[in-house]
Amino acid sequence: MAKARKQKPEGGAGGGATVLHQKLCLSIDMENQLIYGYTEIKVLLAENDTFALHADSMTIRNILVDGEAAEFEYSPHWKNVDGQPSWLSVSCLKTAADAACSAYVSSLTSESVPNLIISSERSVKSTTELPEGENGEKHEENGGNSVQLSDDKEVKTCNGSAEGNDKEEGRETKKEDEKENRNEEKTEMEIETEEKEREKEKDKETEEGKEENEDEKEKEDANENEKDKENEMQIENEKVKNTKLVRVDYILEKAETGVHFVNNVLHSNSQIRRAHCWFPCIDSAIERCPFDLEFTVSTDLVAVSNGDLLYQVLSKEDPPRKTYVYKLNTPVSAQWISLVVGPFEILPDKNGISVSHMCLSPTLSKLENTISFFHDAYSCYEDYLAAPFPFGLYKQIFLPSEMVVSPTSFGASTCIFSVDILNDEKVIDQIIGTRIKLAYALARQWFGIYTSAEEPNDEWLLDGLAGFLTDLFIKRYLGNNEARYRRFKANCTVCQFDVSGATGLGSPAASTDLYGTQTIGSYGKIRSLKAVAVLQTLEKQMGPDSFRKILQMIVASTRASRTLSAKEFRHLANKIGNLERPFLKEFFPRWIESCGCPIMRLGISYSKRRNMVELAVSRGCTAKADPDSDSHADGDIQEGATGWPGMMSVRVHETDGVYDHPILPMAGEALQVVELQCHSKVAAKRFQKTKKGSKPDGSDDNVDASTQENRTSMDAPLLWIRVDPEMEYLAEIHFHQPIQMWINQLEKDKDVVSQSQAIAVLEKLPQLSFAVINALNNFLNDTKAFWRVRVEAAYALAVTASEDTDLAGLLHLVKFYKSRRFDADIGLPRPNDFHDIPEYFVLEAIPHAVALVRSSDKSSPRQAIEFILQLLKYNDNNGNVYSDVYWLAAMVQAIGEVEFGQQGIGLLSSLLKRIDRLLQFDNFMPGYNGVLTVSCIRALARIAERVSSSICLVRTIILVILSILSHCWCFLHIAIMWCNFLLLQDRICELITPFRNMDKPWKVRIEASRVLLDLELHHKGLDAALLLFLKYADEEKTLRGGTKLAVHVLRICQANIDSSRTDQIKLQTLLALLHLLGSKKSYNNVLLRHNVFCILQIAAGRPPTLYGVPKFAAPSPLVQEISIDQHTKADSSVPQLSRPQEPSTSTPSVREVLPTTVPSKDADNISNCSERRNVVKIRVRRAASSSKADGAASSSKADGADLRDHSHGGRNENEVGPCSSMSVDAPMVGAPNEPLNTSNHIEEQNSCHDRESRMSASVSNAKLMDTHEISKELQCTADSRIDAVDSRLDAVKDQFSPVINVQDGVDKPGSQLEGVSTSYAGTQAPESVNGLDSKEKKRKDKKDKKRNRDEKRDKKDDPEYLEKKRLKKEKKKMEKELARKQKEGDRLSSQQDIAKPSDSQGTFVATPPAPAQSAEPQVSNKDVAVETARTPPTKKIKIRFKPLKKIG
């Protein structure tokens, strides 16, 4: 069982006071927009006699403390908003950002401080005097009664003694006579009996003494208990004395924040710290109490609030009014108190669950269709948690979009939604999203409201648990494929944006210090997704049953506290989840208290002789290095620190089965090699005879290129390999394997994540083969595949369609669509039929995918435009039970993606007519939520942006001149057409502007404003767009509309801010933004204010967050500039992020995966040798499957470009996709002192790929030579992308010619390669040549020679071997020619340029400039520490060498 929680000392945020209970009684006047009433707060005071509350935007009438008037001080925040600073210090973007930080932080700080100070000093004195007086009177009465009773007793005893003296004297004489007679009659027997009786009396006396001692002990114990009770009573009495009942009477007139009056509806919202704007309270997340709520409204309205509805009271007023009485027994914070008043239609749930759904009359039919599933989510949560709904009755209220501030507003037992979430029974597209949103809101009732965070640092835990419950519902009722696909995409998003300390979940700098703004905007979404991913990782580690028990314990009604902390959850994970303490001690600090996700780059190589797969691993982190690490000492663990705990699994799909290998540690060295044993064996290899007419190297033009590229993959028993197949860890994984293995993964793996990974790799290949296109097409046509992944395959076909493949992707897309939707007899589309919903989603994405196809001139092919136009023209929805509004909207959006070239420009007018027709139709007969109108407006804007005004103007001038000169009416007609296109943008603006009128639907009005902002940006620039935004924000009356416009402008700034320019935004515009930031409008709309602040930060080149901003005062501009410069310098060495989690097709440089100095003789083998000799050969050879038709110059220059990209350890951002023939020389995994063979030729399967070039590297042929006998041989061949050759021809000559500095290396001892550095990691350092015995060398040499002879015999018919032999001969011949030319030409002693390659295979050859001076760098016979270089690529590579002393 978990340990009992330590109770915190009492005392809250309200000046040391703790709220025990609060009652709220309000009367609402809808006509006058007036709220008046009172609130009663039962508070426990601390030592002082004053306490504080939050209150704003209201008029305080009076305050009573225990029934007596109390003094108070009230300073509303909203009155101080108008007194804005003059912003005189603002002169540029950076100073404006500093001013925004200062203003924003100061406003947030002031809002968190209570502003209603109440003094209870008078009432304390009066109440303390009254009990003393009453107690004194009672004490005196009791004392008087006791005295009177004692006097009566004394009087009575005196009277009785005086009357009976005579009688007693007579009795005494008689007794004396009788005694004398009895004494004479006594015998001896009587004397004996008396003695016995005396003995018995003595025994009785001893027993009575013992009993008296026991009674005394019992009395002492009873006295101690009484003392304890008295102490407890005293403490309780002190609490009672310090407990005060505070009543605040107030009036709220025309509220603008907290609660909102719209037409005949009143509703509250759960904005950050805005609950005190409609009732006084301690507005803090950590201050919780039960509530009693009473609301009096008109009889035709319904008041909906939190808790259980106890009863309704009808008043006798004229007109009569109704009071709704609610009671909420569960302690909650004030932000979860909500109120909605309006003429609602109430719809109880039909499945017998305690849920009520409410909306206005026009949307009742949509509500009935939407909530049909809700009992599934409700029962799912109750069954999983083994606990009923914690608040009794759950209420969902749906309000019009223009009324609400945000799409969802949470409250205790209530939730307010926008009606946009409701879906009609005829609409398909909205079903999935609606169900997920409603399920998440229900999960928040358990985690976030019923169980709340103990501290702001723990809010991530409750948010993550609510998301975990939502994923559980998705898995059960929407399918496992939907749940896994969504989680995979969410993890990709987290890895992409989790790059700074702002996303640290439990870090105080990223939560407590941000005043709650960490939950707003994009960073809030990233934090939520990351929290769910971290909790799912814990669930995988401890098991689903243990994790379920923990959640059941948290929500159990018998649990003492209703708060949860990360520390307590960690304790439960240890006790109930059976997770070891060392793992938890490493897990929580790394995943929760810091930022960043692990980056795993992996490549494989298969060894046929050992039947082993070698997995090369490179580890990194997504978090950027922080140059100011001291300022956040409690924050982030940066890259290269402790790593992440856990062991990642590798799943190998072999020919004989599937095998899991949990051998990949998350933490460890930056570079590592892991070996995987294969269980299947390779079948015997059969060589096919060369066909007649084939090329000497064995290649054939008619053979698919992928067959040759992946021929070597057939030599391995591997089908495909996956890393972390169950998504146990949140990591960015870049895995590289041959193309055929990716195809196998797409075709044979049934996991949606695996299929999505394969498509992401195949669509980015630099050279596409028909095998890849056919694989994508087959998957698109597979109806058993998940529809979301099929949609990805459709977009991949659109991306792969090019002139090189004869637009095969476009043909496949059109053929697929026509086979499903066209009538084969007439060749036209059939009427719509959407009964097959997965097929509907796939076909809906085809027009948009077709619009993305581009020809060689970067314009859309004419057949693609004609296809979309045909679909719009012949769309027929007659007889279809489902609506086609989203179907048409997808087609219209596809028009916006079309690039009009010379061939397709003639179809533009027809497309515009179709769009105009749809706009008119939707205007006369409004469709579903204005979806079609919004799509048409967006498409018109995209068309206006794509028709470049400058090009149109130039063409118009040229054509007009030609028409004048030739007097040809044809040219004049064309010129007029181009003039019309020039005026197209202005006409579109005039067409869209009327949609901003207030009579238009809210969504249409906002979309028109966003489109006009885009057009203003395109026409006049960013400054003009910001000024237009300020105008629209001032005109927009709805809070949600202002927020949406601010978010849109924020995205515009992120996409268009140029850090090198300081004149993009004028000073006047910056001042206007600052005034908006501090205005009353921003105070009323927390989301608008935050987004305006983010806009100013992005304009200055800073991240859009408060993280890292000083808490109280902003630093001077000079300090800011220095810190920014340092930050940019530090970040320059950090590699940029690529697409997260989805297997990247980019291959990092060889040294980024493994050290590159491992000796090997064959370029295709991974050598197990670690010997070092003085002569180093680096051979980079071309793959056998690459095309041989390239010219010598093009190939050599492309090779030079690739050599530049791979000569450094940093990541190459220009890499596009993998290839199939890279091998990496891996150091042997084993004992460091073990002698290793230097000449073993191991046949291996190469798998590390490069996007732009296919290459393999090896270091071999090491000899110990004299300084003057050193020779250098550098051969580089590569096959680059064909489309990149022409652009690199002129640049390669000057930028990639290594320069050898001879003079600098003569005077310095030792040998060092400065341009290219290589390393071994850990215990993988090579051994010295002197460590091998001469006899062992001879014996191994004999074996190697024999093996070489056998291999040469087997390779006689191998085209790769023949090609290699031919290249070797050409190399030697070229070396001689270049050496002769070098001697005759250049005689410089300091530097000699390496000769340009000139052979037909694209070979670079480096030769010494003269026989006396060799350009070969000296390599010491000592072990040289080799390090992976991470320097950015430079234009020239200088190789400096230093001669060594001769070994004596």
Radius of gyration over alpha carbons of the chain, in Å?
43
Q: How far apart are CA 964 and CA 987, in angstroms?
A: 27
With residue 355 as reference, give the H or E element that holds it: strand 355-359
Structure tokens at 694: 């084939």
Q: What is the dihedral of CA 936, 940, 942, 945, to 10 degrees?
A: -170
pLDDT value, residue 130: 34
Structure tokens at 579: 């997770």
pTM given for the model: 0.71
SS3 783: coil
Structure tokens at 1067: 């000073």
Residue 586 predicted with pLDDT over 50: yes
Q: Are residues 1077 and 103 in contact, defined by beta-carbon separation less than 8 angstroms?
A: yes
Residue 1327 predicted with pLDDT over 50: no
Residue 150 predicted with pLDDT over 50: no
Q: How far apart are CA 923 and CA 927, in angstroms?
A: 8
With residue 28 as reference, give the H or E element that holds it: strand 18-29
Residue 1397 predicted with pLDDT over 80: no
pLDDT value, residue 626: 54
pLDDT value, residue 236: 61
Residue 566 predicted with pLDDT over 70: yes
Structure tokens at 144: 């008087």
pLDDT value, residue 804: 83
More confident residue, 259 or 981: 259
Residue 574 predicted with pLDDT over 70: yes
Residue 1204 predicted with pLDDT over 60: no
Q: Residue with structure tokens 């009923």?
A: 388
Residue 250 predicted with pLDDT over 60: yes
Q: Are residues 239 and 45 in contact, defined by beta-carbon separation less than 8 angstroms?
A: no
Highest mean pLDDT of the ranges 193-197, 641-645, 720-724, 1154-1158: 720-724
> What tens digit of pLDDT does each residue of 1368-1394 get?
888 888 888 888 777 776 655 444 443
φ/ψ (deg, to 5) at 1228 = -70, 140
Report the 3 state secondary structure along 602-617. EEEEEECCCCEEEEEE
Residue 1183 predicted with pLDDT over 70: no
Q: Are residues 887 and 817 in contact, defined by beta-carbon separation less than 8 angstroms?
A: no
Q: How far apart are CA 1077 and CA 1091, in angstroms?
A: 9
SS3 117: strand
Interacting residues of 275 by C-beta distance below 8 A, sequence separation 6+: 54, 258, 268, 281, 283, 334, 335, 337
Please choose, from the candidates 1234, 1300, 1277, the residue with its C-alpha nearest in 3D space to the C-alpha of residue 1374. 1277
If 0-12 CB within 10 Å is exposed, 13-18 middle and 19+ buried, where does residue 1139 land? middle
CA end-to-end span of the chain, whole Å? 73
φ/ψ (deg, to 5) at 83 = -85, 70
> What tens digit of pLDDT does each residue of 1147-1163 get?
333 233 333 333 333 33
Report the 3 state secondary structure along 727-756. CCCCCEEEEECCHHHHHHHHHHCCCHHHHH
Residue 271 predicted with pLDDT over 70: yes
Residue 540 predicted with pLDDT over 70: yes
| DSSP, residue by residue, 1084-1118 | H-HHHHHHHHHHHHHHTT--SSSTTS-SS-PPPHH
pLDDT value, residue 1401: 39
Q: Are residues 16 and 46 in contact, defined by beta-carbon separation less than 8 angstroms?
A: yes
pLDDT value, residue 876: 93
Structure tokens at 533: 């991913």
Q: How far apart are CA 339 and CA 342, in angstroms?
A: 10
Interacting residues of 79 by C-beta distance below 8 A, sequence separation 6+: none
| DSSP, residue by residue, 438-479 | HHHHHHHHHBTTTBEESSGGGHHHHHHHHHHHHHHHHHHHT-
Total residue count of the chain as it appears in this document: 1448
Q: How far apart are CA 1207 and CA 1005, in angstroms?
A: 54
> What tens digit of pLDDT does each residue of 321-347 get?
999 999 999 999 999 999 999 999 999
φ/ψ (deg, to 5) at 217 = -60, -45
Q: How far apart are CA 270 and CA 259, in angstroms?
A: 10
Interacting residues of 694 by C-beta distance below 8 A, sequence separation 6+: 700
Mean pLDDT of 624-638: 46
Q: Are residues 624 and 642 in contact, defined by beta-carbon separation less than 8 angstroms?
A: no
> What tens digit of pLDDT does each residue of 1415-1442 get?
333 333 333 333 433 344 444 444 454 4
- Residue 229's pLDDT band, with cuts at 50, 70 and 90, is low
SS3 357: strand
| DSSP, residue by residue, 1275-1338 | EE--B--GGGHHHHHHHHHHHS--EEESHHHHSS-S---SSS-----TT-PPPPGGGS-HHHHH
> What tens digit of pLDDT does each residue of 429-477 get?
999 999 999 999 999 999 999 999 999 999 999 999 999 999 999 999 9
Q: How far apart are CA 452 and CA 758, in angstroms?
A: 42
- Residue 1344's pLDDT band, with cuts at 50, 70 and 90, is confident
More confident residue, 1435 or 549: 549
With residue 1047 as reference, give the H or E element that holds it: helix 1039-1056
Weakest mean pLDDT among 928-932, 982-986, 1119-1123: 1119-1123
> What tens digit of pLDDT does each residue of 82-109 get?
555 668 888 899 999 999 999 999 999 9
> What tens digit of pLDDT does each residue of 952-1000 get?
444 544 444 444 444 444 444 545 555 555 566 677 788 888 888 888 8
Residue 697 predicted with pLDDT over 50: no
More confident residue, 796 or 952: 796
> What tens digit of pLDDT does each residue of 468-516 get?
999 999 999 999 999 999 999 999 999 999 998 889 898 888 888 888 8
pLDDT value, residue 1433: 46
Please choose, from the candidates 1262, 1289, 1284, the residue with its C-alpha nearest in 3D space to the C-alpha of residue 1273. 1262
Mean pLDDT of 298-308: 94
pLDDT value, residue 121: 64
Mean pLDDT value across the chain: 74
Q: Are residues 1249 and 766 in contact, defined by beta-carbon separation less than 8 angstroms?
A: no
pLDDT value, residue 1208: 38
pLDDT value, residue 1019: 86
Q: How far apart are CA 24 and CA 1053, in angstroms?
A: 45
Longest Cα separation, the chain: 179
Q: How many CB atoms lie within 10 A of CB 610?
A: 14
Q: How far apart are CA 865 and CA 788, in angstroms?
A: 25
What is the crossing angle of helices 885-896 and 837-851, to 10°? 20
Q: How far apart are CA 51 and CA 67, in angstroms?
A: 17
Residue 761 predicted with pLDDT over 70: yes
Please choose, from the candidates 331, 573, 339, the residue with its C-alpha nearest in 3D space to the C-alpha of residue 451. 331
Q: How many CB atoms lie within 10 A of CB 1368?
A: 12
> What tens digit of pLDDT does each residue of 1006-1063 get?
999 999 999 999 888 999 999 999 999 999 989 999 999 999 999 999 998 887 777 7
What sign has the CA pseudo-torsion 203, 206, 212, 218?
negative
φ/ψ (deg, to 5) at 824 = -65, -25
pLDDT value, residue 869: 94
Q: Residue with structure tokens 């409008």?
A: 1081
Amino acid 316 reads K
pLDDT value, residue 608: 87
Q: How far apart are CA 1346 and CA 862, in angstroms?
A: 64
